[in-house]
Amino acid sequence: MSALPRTLCAGLLLLALVGCASQPRSLYGWEGYQPQVYAYLKGEGSYEEQIAVLEQGLQRIRARGQTPAPGYHAHLGMLYAQIGRSDQVVQQFQTEAELFPESRPYMEFLLKRKIQEVGP
Residues lying near other proteins in the complex (CB under 8 A) are found at 2, 5-6, 8-10, 12-13, 15-16, 19-20, 24, 26-28, 30, 33-35, 37-38, 40-42, 69-71, 74-75, 77-78, 96, 100, 102-106, 109-110, 113, 115, 118
1 or 63: CB nearest other proteins: 1
88 or 103: CB nearest other proteins: 103
62 or 113: CB nearest other proteins: 113
Give min distance, CB of 88 to other proteins, in A.
14
Q: What is the DSSP string of the chain?
A: --HHHHHHHHHHHHHHHHHT--PPPPSSB-TTHHHHHHHHHHT-S-HHHHHHHHHHHHHHHHHTTPPBPTTHHHHHHHHHHHTT-HHHHHHHHHHHHHH-GGGHHHHHHHHHTTGGGG--
Give min distance, CB of 63 to other proteins, in A.
20
